[in-house]
């Protein structure tokens, strides 16, 4: 015997089909918008009959959920690769630039992950847990910098999404709002360090 693991070719083919379906779903969502995604269009793009999609996803919501999980995982993977130096201003800028860059490079993905644009859709607990992990990592980094008030985590994410929303809505492809990130970070750092040199403590 060669000692090589036996490949499960059936599982590999199934996963390849799932990956192709999701790739097509992202492509079509980029053209038609998330709400305009249809099973018939996805099936046509991957060369399947619409009913054949149900062998892989039992509903359109299941496709949205798989897209959500894929997008959230990509964000988390990139987040885990960030390098920090222990300086408050520098590390906050690193997080902010990654967040803003990730979201503005693919507005459809941003809408799915961070906005409620699909009526009736909620990510499954398993998929949402990936996003929770990402938020926890941001919170842990802020705490390591002395920013331990939960309100300051909320403020940080609100600043980022505010710039992103304005950029995507009013200057897609430009930088009218994202170029304000440095100023926003300066204001944020001034806010969390006022008086004591570290973030505000809860009582």
C-alpha 38, offset from chain centre: 22
Residue 116's pLDDT is: 85
Question: Could you tell me which CATH class the domain 62-203 is placed in?
Answer: mainly alpha
Residue 104's pLDDT is: 97
Cα distance between residue 50 and residue 48, in whole Å: 6
pLDDT tens digits for 67-119? 999 999 999 999 999 999 999 999 999 999 999 999 999 999 999 999 988 98
Residue spans of the domains in the chain: they are 1-58, 62-203
- Using the predicted structure, report yes or no on whether residue 130 has a pLDDT greater than 50: yes
Cα distance between residue 144 and residue 3, in whole Å: 47
pLDDT tens digits for 133-188? 999 999 999 999 999 999 999 999 999 999 999 999 999 999 999 999 999 999 99
* Architecture per CATH, 1-58: Orthogonal Bundle (1.10)
Cα distance between residue 191 and residue 203, in whole Å: 18
């Amino acid at each position: 015997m060669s000692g090589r693991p036996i490949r499960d070719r059936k599982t590999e083919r199934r996963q390849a089909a799932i990956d192709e379906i999701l790739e097509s779903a992202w492509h079509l969502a980029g053209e038609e918008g998330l709400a305009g995604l249809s099973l018939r269009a996805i099936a046509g793009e991957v060369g399947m009959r619409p009913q054949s999609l149900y062998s892989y996803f039992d509903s359109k919501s299941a496709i949205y959920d798989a897209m959500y999980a894929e997008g959230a995982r990509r964000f988390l993977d990139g987040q885990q690769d960030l390098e920090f130096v222990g300086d408050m201003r520098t590390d906050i800028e690193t997080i902010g630039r990654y967040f803003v860059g990730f979201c503005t490079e693919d507005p459809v993905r941003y809408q799915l992950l961070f906005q409620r644009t699909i009526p009736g859709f909620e990510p499954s607990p398993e998929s949402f847990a990936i996003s929770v992990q990402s938020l926890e990592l941001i919170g842990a980094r802020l705490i390591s910098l002395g920013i331990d008030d939960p309100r300051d985590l909320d403020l940080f994410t609100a600043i980022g999404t505010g710039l992103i929303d304005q950029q995507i809505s009013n200057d897609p492809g430009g930088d009218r709002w994202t170029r304000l990130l440095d100023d926003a970070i300066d204001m944020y750092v001034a806010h969390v360090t006022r008086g004591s040199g570290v973030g505000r403590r809860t009582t």
